[in-house]
C-alpha cells in the first residue's frame, strides 16, 4: 500500500469543552490551512483519574462534546483536509498516559488490564463509529501508551473490533524510541510514532526506525513531531517543561534539521506536526510564546515552504 504524502498538523489539542465550536476555532483552522497542510489530526483528550484507574470518562467535562468533534470534522473537510481522528486518554492527576499500567496477572481486589481495556474499548469504539459516519480517512487507536504496548493480544482484539465499525485506515501512535518495541504492527494499516528526537540525532534514529518497521511492509509517518520555540528545546524537543527563554530561531533550525534528515528517506511518508491550538495567540505575542505552535514564528515559513514543495511533487508524481 502506498500512502500519499501527509503534510499534516495536529489541531485542537487538548480538546477542552466549549473551545471548538467558536469563531476563534474557525479562525485557527483557516490560518492552519495557509501552511499548505493537506491533512489534520483532530486530537482531543478524555481522562481517567490516575494511571491505575480503570474508567475512561470520555463523556464528561472537560472533554469536547460529540457536537464539537462533529463540527470540527466538517469544518476541516470543508477546507479540503483529510482527517485522522485521534482520541487520546490522559490522567486527571497529571501523570503522563505512558505510565498507565497494571499487574500482568489478574489479582483479586486489584485493578486489572481486563477492566481498563473494557473501558478503553468503549471509548475508542465510540469515536471509531464517528470516524466512519463522517468519512475520516484515518483513525488512531492509541497514542504513546508505552506500558500498554506489551499487551499484544488486547491491542489486536481492539483493532479487530475497530475494523467491525470503521472501514478507513487504522494507525497506532507509539512513543519516541518505541518503534522497535511494538510487536503487533502487522495489525494496523499505517505505522506511526512521535518523532521528538534531538536535532543532531535524527540520522541515527531514522536508521533505527527503518530497521524496525521495514519488515512489516507498512507505510510509516510521524504522527507527532515538533519543537517548542525555546532555548534548549532542540536537544529535548519532547520536554514541554524545559526552562529556557523564547527562541524562534531554535525552533526554526530544528525543523530544518528534521526535514533535511527525513527528506533523504522516501519511506517517511510525512508528519502530523505538533501542534496548532483551537485558540491562537495574537501575532504580536508570537515572539514571547515558547510553545510548539509555529503560528507567526520563523518556523511557519519553513514548514510552509517544505509542505508546499512536497505536495507539489505529489501532484506531478514523485
Residues 6+ apart with CB under 8 A from 77: 83, 134, 135
In a domain, 305, yes or no: yes
In a domain, 256, yes or no: yes
In a domain, 200, yes or no: yes
Residues 6+ apart with CB under 8 A from 122: 56
What local confidence, expressed as pLDDT, does residue 1 receive? 80
Residue 290 has pLDDT above 90, yes or no: yes
Residue 311 has pLDDT above 60, yes or no: yes
Residue 317 has pLDDT above 70, yes or no: no
Dmax over Cα atoms in the chain, in whole Å?
A: 61
Residue 185 has pLDDT above 90, yes or no: yes
Which letter does DSSP use for residue 194 in this model? E
What local confidence, expressed as pLDDT, does residue 2 receive? 85
Residue 111 has pLDDT above 80, yes or no: yes
Q: Cα torsion at 89, 231, 280, 261 (round to 10°)? A: -70
In a domain, 1, yes or no: no
Residue 209 has pLDDT above 80, yes or no: yes
- Convert the pLDDT of each residue in 232-286 to its tens digit: 999 999 999 999 999 999 999 999 999 999 999 999 999 999 999 999 999 999 9
According to DSSP, the β-strands at 138-143 and 169-174 are parallel
In a domain, 89, yes or no: yes
What local confidence, expressed as pLDDT, does residue 241 receive? 92
Residue 204 has pLDDT above 70, yes or no: yes
What local confidence, expressed as pLDDT, does residue 315 receive? 62
- Boundaries of domain holding 121: 6-316
What local confidence, expressed as pLDDT, does residue 224 receive? 98
Tally of domains in the chain? 1
**What is the percent of the chain with per-residue pLDDT over 90, rounded to a whole number?**
97
In a domain, 106, yes or no: yes
d(CA 161, CA 17) in angstroms, rounded, equals 28
Q: Which of 66-70, 122-126, 137-141, 311-315 has the lowest mean pLDDT?
A: 311-315
- Tell me phi and psi for residue 154, to 5 degrees: -65, -40
In a domain, 172, yes or no: yes
Which letter does DSSP use for residue 24 in this model? H
Average confidence score pLDDT of the chain = 97
What local confidence, expressed as pLDDT, does residue 287 receive? 98
CATH code of the domain in which 80 resides: 3.20.20.80
- Convert the pLDDT of each residue in 44-65 to its tens digit: 999 999 999 999 999 999 999 9
In a domain, 47, yes or no: yes
Amino acid at each position: 500500500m502506498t500512502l500519499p504524502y501527509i503534510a499534516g498538523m495536529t489541531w485542537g489539542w487538548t480538546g477542552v469543552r466549549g473551545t471548538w465550536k467558536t469563531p476563534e476555532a474557525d479562525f485557527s483552522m483557516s490560518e492552519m490551512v495557509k501552511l499548505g497542510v493537506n491533512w489534520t489530526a483532530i486530537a482531543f483528550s478524555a481522562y481517567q483519574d490516575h494511571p491505575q484507574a480503570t474508567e475512561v470518562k470520555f463523556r464528561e467535562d472537560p472533554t469536547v462534546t460529540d457536537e464539537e468533534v462533529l463540527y470540527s470534522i466538517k469544518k476541516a473537510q470543508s477546507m479540503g483536509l483529510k482527517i485522522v481522528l485521534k482520541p487520546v486518554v490522559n490522567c486527571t492527576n497529571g501523570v503522563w498516559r505512558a505510565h498507565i499500567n497494571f499487574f500482568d496477572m489478574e489479582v483479586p481486589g486489584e485493578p486489572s488490564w481486563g477492566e481498563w481495556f473494557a473501558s478503553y474499548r468503549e471509548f475508542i469504539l465510540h469515536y471509531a463509529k464517528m470516524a466512519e459516519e463522517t468519512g475520516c480517512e484515518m483513525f488512531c487507536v492509541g497514542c504513546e501508551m508505552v506500558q500498554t504496548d506489551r499487551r499484544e493480544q488486547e491491542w489486536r482484539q481492539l483493532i479487530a473490533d475497530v475494523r467491525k465499525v470503521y472501514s478507513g485506515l487504522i494507525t497506532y501512535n507509539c512513543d519516541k524510541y518505541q518503534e522497535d518495541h511494538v510487536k503487533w504492527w502487522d495489525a494496523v494499516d499505517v505505522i506511526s510514532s512521535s518523532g521528538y528526537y534531538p536535532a543532531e540525532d535524527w540520522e541515527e534514529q531514522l536508521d533505527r526506525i527503518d530497521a524496525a518497521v521495514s519488515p512489516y511492509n507498512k507505510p510509516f509517518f510521524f504522527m507527532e513531531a515538533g519543537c517548542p520555540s525555546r532555548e534548549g528545546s532542540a536537544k529535548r524537543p519532547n520536554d514541554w517543561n524545559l526552562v529556557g527563554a523564547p527562541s524562534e530561531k531554535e525552533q526554526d533550525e530544528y525543523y530544518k534539521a528534521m526535514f533535511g534528515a527525513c527528506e533523504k528517506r522516501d519511506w517517511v511518508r510525512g508528519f502530523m506536526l505538533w501542534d496548532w491550538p483551537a485558540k491562537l495567540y495574537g501575532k504580536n505575542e508570537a515572539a514571547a510564546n515558547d510553545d510548539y505552535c509555529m503560528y507567526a514564528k520563523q518556523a511557519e515559513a519553513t514548514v510552509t515552504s517544505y509542505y508546499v514543495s512536497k505536495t507539489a511533487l505529489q501532484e506531478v508524481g514523485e
